[in-house]
Chains A and B, each alone.
Chain A
Amino acid sequence: MSDDLPWELPDELLIDTEMARRIIVAFIGGHMQQTGFGRAVLGLSGGIDSALVAYLTAAAIKPENLLCLMLPYRTSSPASRADAEEVVAALGCPSRVVEITPIVDGYFEAALAGGEERAEPSRLRLGNFAARARMAVLYDQSAAWDGLVMGTSNKTESLLGYTTIFGDNAAALQPIGDLYKSQVRQLSAAVGVPEAILRKPPTADLWAGQTDEHEVGLSYAEIDRLLYSLVDLRRTSDELVEMGFAAANVERVVALVAGSEFKRQVAPVAKLSPRTPGVDYLYPRRRPRGG
């Protein structure tokens, strides 16, 4: 790991990377065995989250069993594509490019042409639709490739609600969903994710120049320290301010977490019968059939 990587790793968030790697690889391998799948599909964006999941999945099931899909939209950065290609080359896994531009533009253009829509969609709608188009392609390829869809959500974006529901958060497994972004960076450096990916600013690549940190207005190191104290250590807002976090930042992050609770849970079922799936009909995801 280079000493001069352009981000800070907060001390209280530092993980034992070998332990984390071992647990996640065992987690992926265990679920593959229990579900009867030997293969996986993954949307590779060129960013650090999906690159890390690619490395961990390849370690669990061998690279030839991992299909990496690059799913660019017309505004996606060519640099992202090059970085994704570098991961594919380094791991030696099969890959495929599926342009989602015709899917996304086809939908919105038809709405405009038919008069149902009068203006171009907002960046939010476009971004969410693109995320769901990628999900649709991934799940179709899951059937074609006979592989589980690997999720790439991290704990920071999940807690902030910085995800598209049924879009980028749709997956069979979430291997890095309990790692904050800072920990994703630490682990990525440890498992050998290419330097170019480690160095670039995190972006959802929804439009040119967009970065996560600019949107939230805080560095990931600050956000992660705040979230860790709030969520994992159960500190109150007042205690966070006493610790030195700016009150406005605490308020903003607390509101983002509370406002996105619905994205982290399954939809409620209206309770009518004696036993209701998801309420009081509770079984492991996979269990022996019959008997």
Chain B
Amino acid sequence: MLRSLVVTGALGLLLAGGLWAKSLGDTAPDFTRTDFTGKPVHLAGYRGKLVLLNFWASWCGPCLEEMPLLSAWQRTYGAAGLQVIGVSMDDAAAAAKRLLARQPVDYPVVLGDAKLGETYGGVLGLPLTFLIDRRGHIVARYRGEADLAQIEAQIRSLLAESR
């Protein structure tokens, strides 16, 4: 009962905030890619964790501004079950790698492409962030310059209710 109230309330908050909710409840499309350190990243392999999937690019100012905070969330909430995954939508890996060399992050980053973007309903504007619950379902989608305090509140709520 309490769990469903928390989830309903959180979804209500998101919708009230005008967020695009087309894919809420869907199973997050799976993918396997190699990250920029050479390690495999298999989304379904993170079942049991709350995943924050962040689409970004090196040319996207708002993306670069929020990445340090995503790193901080990984450090702060990682032990509680949060896993941040970055997907660079740069047209080439080199630009993303250069950016990450200047601005490292504490989570895996893979190179995305149009095909991966299409499986997520189209990545046609950045930044774009999904929250995927421990069962692999999309529970939130934030597009554009999102309210990061709201995302963090949602992370706390989902980590608490799914312990």
Asked if chains A and B come from one complex, the reply is: no
